[in-house]
Amino acid sequence: MEDKEIWYRQDSVTVTLAETLRGRYRVRALSNGCETPAGKTGSEVCRGAVRAVMLADAAQDEWPSQVSRQLDIAVIGILPITKAGVPACDRSSAGHRYFALLPPTVSYDLLCQIIEMAFVNIDLAERERSTREELKRAQEDMEELNRIGVALSAQHPPGSLLQMILQKARTITGADAGSLYLVDETPEGHRQLTFKVTQNDSRDFPFRELVLPLSDTSMAGYVAIHGESLRVDDAYESSGTNPAIPYRFNPEYDRATGYRTQSILTLPMSNAKAKTVGVLQLINCKRDRKLPLEMTEVQPFPDRAVRLALSLASQAAVAYENSQLHQDIEALFEGFVHAAVTAIEQRDPTTSGHSLRVANITCRLAQIVDAAETGPYAKARFSSVQMKELRYAALLHDFGKVAVREEVLVKAKKLYPATLTLLQQRFENARKSIEVDHLQRKLRAVLTRSVVAAPGNCVNLDEQFHRRLAEIDEDLGFILEVNEPTVLPEGKFDRLIKIAAKTYIDSVGHQHNLLTPEEMRSLSIPQGSLDSEERQQIESHVMHSFNFLMQIPWTSELKDIPVIARAHHEKLNGNGYPFRLRADHIPIQAKIMTICDIFDALSASDRPYKKAVPVNRALDMLQMSVRDHELDADLFAMFVEGRVFNHT
C-alpha cells in the first residue's frame, strides 16, 4: 500500500481519525493551506505516482474542492458534532467535491471501507482519464493520417511524391533523418533496391541515386524480402551481436558524414496485394521533435510511432502505385495521340507535321495570352491541365480526315489524276483520229486527182492537218492550265464550252466528245480544286473529329477537348463551319487554334494544291481575315507581337 496516502490538516478535527490509520496507510499532514506533502508534486499525484485521500474538516476548510480539482484526489469530509449530539450538516459545503461526509465518531472499519472505496474511485477516474487521453491521441493520429492520406492522394510527380512520403513519415514519428528505397524489377525479372530519397535535418547528406542488390544482409533488403518491420534501439550495440539475424548495420555513411545513427525503424511499403513496393527507413527518433537533434535526446521509436509509420507506409505504397499508374496512363495516352497523328499523316502525307506544328504554336500563343496583364484577355488564365487540354485538342483537331475519301483529301488539282490520264488519252486518240483522217484524204486526193493537181492538193491537206493538230494541242494545253487550283478568269468558261462541244471518231467509227460532263463540271470550279460536294466532304472532317473525340472517356479536366477541336474552323462573323458560330459562342482556345491552323496552312511547304507563301504574306492574309471579322484582332496582335510563328 506504499502508493496509498492519507492527507489531513494538523489543526483540524481530522487529526484523531488520521492517526488511527497509521500502519495501514501512509499518513501525511498538510502544514500550509492546500500545499501537497513535501516532495510530492501535483503531477505525480494526478498521474498515479501517489494515490491520496484527504480527510478535511467539512465545517471549516474552504479549500478541499480546490485541491480535489487541481490534483484529482478524493476528499472525505468530517462533520463536527452539534450540542444535540448529532453531526452538523452544513449545506454551504455542498459545492465542495466530497467523496463522502462522515461524523468524527465513525468506526474504524467503516472509515477504512469508505477510504478503500475512494481509492477504487481514484483508480476508475485514472483509467477513465487515461482512456480519454488515449482516445484523444488516437483521434489526433487518425486525423493526421487522414490529412497525410489526402495530401498523398493528390496528383504528384513520382519524384516529389517520394519526397513527401518520407517527409510525412519523419514528421509523425519525430525522426531526424530517413531514406526511401523502391523495389524494382529489371527487364530480365530480377528484383533490386533503388536508393531514391534521403533526408537529414542535422547534416547535408551527399546523395546520389544507387541501385543495390536485393539481399537480406541489409536492413532495407531484409524488410523488402520478408515484408516485416524492424526496430533497432541502438544501431551500434545491436550490430553483429546476434548471429541468428542476417542483416547488419552499415556505419559507412556515419563515418562519411560525421552523423551518429542510433535508433532505426525500417518499414515495408506494402500495397493492397501485400506486395512490397518500397522500404522506409527512419533514423533517430527525437524525444522532442520540435528541437534540433543537438538539443534533445534520441530515443527508441515508441510503439505509437511504429503503428503510425506502418499505416502511413501502406498509404504511401498505394499512393506511389497510383502515381505510377497515372504516369503510365499519361504515357499510354501520349502514345495513342502520337498514333492518331501518325494515322492522319499516313492518310494525308502531304500535310505531314501540320498537327504537331499547330499544337506547338497554339500552346505558345496560349502562354502569351495567359501572361497578358492588359487588354481584353488580361483575366484569361490557363492552368497546366488546360494547357494540356489545348495541346491534345490541337494535335487531334484534324483526326476526322481519316473518314474523308483519300482521293478527295489529297486532291491537288481540279481533275483527279486518273481522270486527267483518261482525258489525255482521249486527246491522244483524237490526234490519231486526225492523222488517220488526214492520210485517208491524201490517199483519195491522189486516187481521184490528176498527177499534175495531186501535189497541190496534198500541200493544202497538210496545212489543214497541222492546223487541226495545233488546235487540239492548244485545247489540251488550255485544259491543263484551267486544271490548276487557281481562280478561273472570265472568258475561260466559254472556251471550255467550245472544247466540250468538239468530237472525234475512234478507230471503229464511234463518235466521242473531247470532254465528259463530269470533267466539264470539275474544270469549271471557279477557285481551288474542290467542287461543292468535295468541299463538304473535306469540311465534314470537323464533325468526324468531334464524334471520334466524344467516344473517348475524358477526365473532367480534359472534357472540353472535343468542343475545342470542333470549333477550329468557326469564324467570328458566323461564316465558318460546321455550326456557323459567332464570336461569343466560340471558345477562346478554338480562337487561338484557328489563327495558328490558318497560318500553318498558308506557310507550310507541303501542300500539293498550293505553293507556300512567305511569312509576311501569310500574316497579311491573316490580317485581311481580321478585317473581315473572321479572326480575333487582339489574339492576332499577340500572335504577331509575340512572333509565335517562329516557334513552328
Q: Can you tell me the distance from the alpha carbon of 607 to that of 451, in angstroms, rounded to the nearest whole number?
A: 62
pLDDT of res. 274:
86
Decide: 192 and 347 in contact? Cβ < 8 Å.
Answer: no
Helix (H) or strand (E) holding 192: strand 191-200
**Nearest CA-CA partner of 65 in 30, 34, 21:** 34
What grid cell was written down for 350?
Answer: 502531304
pLDDT of res. 34:
47
**pLDDT higher at 206 or 372:** 372
| pLDDT classification of 449: cutoffs 50, 70, 90 | low
Q: Can you tell me the distance from the alpha carbon of 592 to that of 361, in angstroms, rounded to the nearest whole number?
A: 9
In sequence order, the 6+-apart residues with CB closer than 8 A to the CB of 501 are 513
| pLDDT classification of 459: cutoffs 50, 70, 90 | confident
| pLDDT classification of 93: cutoffs 50, 70, 90 | very low
Burial of 215 (0-12, 13-18, 19+ CB in 10 A): middle
Decide: 235 and 262 in contact? Cβ < 8 Å.
Answer: yes
Q: Can you tell me the distance from the alpha carbon of 337 to that of 356, in angstroms, rounded to the nearest whole number?
A: 11
Chain segment 474-508, per-residue pLDDT in tens: 999 999 999 988 877 777 888 999 999 999 998 88
Lowest mean pLDDT among 11-25, 106-120, 446-460, 501-515: 446-460
Query: Hey, how many other C-beta atoms are within 10 angstroms of the C-beta on 308?
Result: 22
In whole angstroms, how far apart are CA 389 and each of 77, 494, 550, 556, 565? 78, 52, 14, 11, 10
Provide φ and ψ at 143, rounded to 5°.
Answer: -65, -40
**pLDDT higher at 433 or 133:** 433
For residue 100, which amino acid is it?
A: A
Average pLDDT over every residue of 87-100: 58
Residue 647 has pLDDT above 70, yes or no: no
**pLDDT higher at 188 or 593:** 593
What grid cell was written down for 126?
Answer: 485514472
pLDDT of res. 1:
45
Give percent of the chain above pLDDT 90: 46
Cis peptide bond N-terminal to 578, omega within 30: yes
Provide φ and ψ at 162, rounded to 5°.
Answer: -65, -40
Give percent of the chain above pLDDT 70: 89
Provide φ and ψ at 518, rounded to 5°.
Answer: -65, -40
In whole angstroms, how far apart are CA 398 and each of 403, 540, 629, 644, 647? 10, 10, 24, 21, 20
**Nearest CA-CA partner of 633 in 623, 644, 645:** 623
Sign of the torsion formed by the C-alpha atoms of 415, 421, 426 and 427: positive
Average pLDDT over every residue of 554-562: 93
DSSP 80: P
Q: Can you tell me the distance from the alpha carbon of 431 to that of 114, in angstroms, rounded to the nearest whole number?
A: 136
SS3 7: strand
Task: Report which listed range, 301-310, 499-508, 570-579, is most confident.
Answer: 570-579
Largest CA distance in the chain: 185
What grid cell was written down for 342?
Answer: 501518325
Q: Can you tell me the distance from the alpha carbon of 402 to that of 346, in angstroms, rounded to the nearest whole number?
A: 9
List the Cα angle 259/301/236 in 5-degree steps.
45
| pLDDT classification of 41: cutoffs 50, 70, 90 | very low
Domain 348-408+537-647 in CATH 1.10.3210.10: yes
Burial of 310 (0-12, 13-18, 19+ CB in 10 A): middle
What grid cell was written down for 539?
Answer: 469540311
**pLDDT higher at 70 or 165:** 165
Average pLDDT over every residue of 287-315: 88
pLDDT of res. 347:
79
| pLDDT classification of 210: cutoffs 50, 70, 90 | confident
Between the two ends of the chain, the Cα-to-Cα distance in Å is 90
Residue with cell 505558345: 364
Q: Which residues of 25-36 are buried (b: 16+ CB within 10 A; e: fewer)?
A: bbbbbbeeebeb
Chain segment 376-426, per-residue pLDDT in tens: 999 999 999 999 999 999 999 999 998 999 888 888 899 999 999 999 999
In sequence order, the 6+-apart residues with CB closer than 8 A to the CB of 447 are none
Alpha helices in 174-302 (DSSP H): 219-226, 235-238, 252-257
Decide: 577 and 569 in contact? Cβ < 8 Å.
Answer: yes
Q: Can you tell me the distance from the alpha carbon of 71 to that of 42, in angstroms, rounded to the nearest whole number?
A: 6
| pLDDT classification of 39: cutoffs 50, 70, 90 | very low
Chain segment 241-298, per-residue pLDDT in tens: 667 788 888 888 888 888 999 999 999 999 888 889 999 999 999 998 888 888 889 9
CATH architecture of 157-323: 2-Layer Sandwich (3.30)
| pLDDT classification of 47: cutoffs 50, 70, 90 | very low
What grid cell was written down for 67?
Answer: 485541491
DSSP 127: H
pLDDT of res. 96:
53
Average pLDDT over every residue of 181-206: 87
Q: Can you tell me the distance from the alpha carbon of 228 to that of 269, in angstroms, rounded to the nearest whole number?
A: 10
In whole angstroms, how far apart are CA 587 and each of 55, 287, 357, 592, 640? 84, 58, 21, 9, 21
CATH of domain 4-131: 3.40.50.2300
